[in-house]
Amino acid sequence: MKIVWSYIYKFVRSPYLSLVLRLYIGGIFIYAGMSKVHYPGEFTENLAAYQMLPYWAVNFVALILPWVEIICGLFLIIGLKSRVSASIVGLLLIVFTVGIFINLLNGTPISCGCFDSIGSEISWKDVFRDLGWFILTLQIFFYDRISFLRRELLLFKKRGEEDISQSLR
């Protein structure tokens, strides 16, 4: 049984798993952002239905949030500042989860607004989905070491290891 746990531990800490999760979460956030960019009016209505933002901030957030999702998704996919991107995505997922949770407790019949402007009503499935994605972003934050933009393509450096280009200077 100890051997099984050691394999699970190695799998969870694998930087290659982080690469797969980066591609998955990045793709989700690019898709979500692209579905909102083209219809800012509908997204503004969905955002206002959550009743979490002051009225004056709804339009601003509705214009900025899709672009933040797209940029963070792109950064996750290419591996550029992936820890920062994973932090922003994780923070967004916490905010989304809290918003859905509060509205579920209040019994507000609103659409999620996650991937389309007219969709099904929010449910507990949405809360658990967002919490699962948050756990995946934690794995990316702590164990991602692969970057496509390094000289050693698909190689990773261990924590505390100095970059080769820095030591040559």
DSSP state of 157: -
d(CA 101, CA 147): 35
Question: Distance (Å, rounded) from C-alpha 8 to C-alpha 128?
Answer: 23
Q: With left for phi above 0 and alpha for psi between -120 and 50, is residue 79 left, alpha or beta? A: left
Place of tokens 């932090």: 87
The overall average pLDDT reported for the chain is: 84
pLDDT of residue 77: 92
Question: How far apart are the C-alpha atoms of 42 and 38, rounded to whole Å?
Answer: 9
Task: Report pLDDT digits (tens) over 136-167.
Answer: 999 999 988 776 665 555 555 555 555 544 54
The 3-state DSSP class for residue 36 equals helix
| Mean pLDDT (whole number) for 113-130 | 84
Left if phi > 0, otherwise alpha if psi is -120 to 50, otherwise beta: which for 12? alpha
The model's pLDDT over 14-59, given as tens digits with 9 standing for 90+, comes to: 888 888 999 999 999 999 999 889 888 888 888 888 888 898 999 9
Identify the pLDDT of residue 169: 45
DSSP string computed for 43-64: HHHHHHHT--S-GGGHHHHHHH
Tokens, residue 46: 């969905």
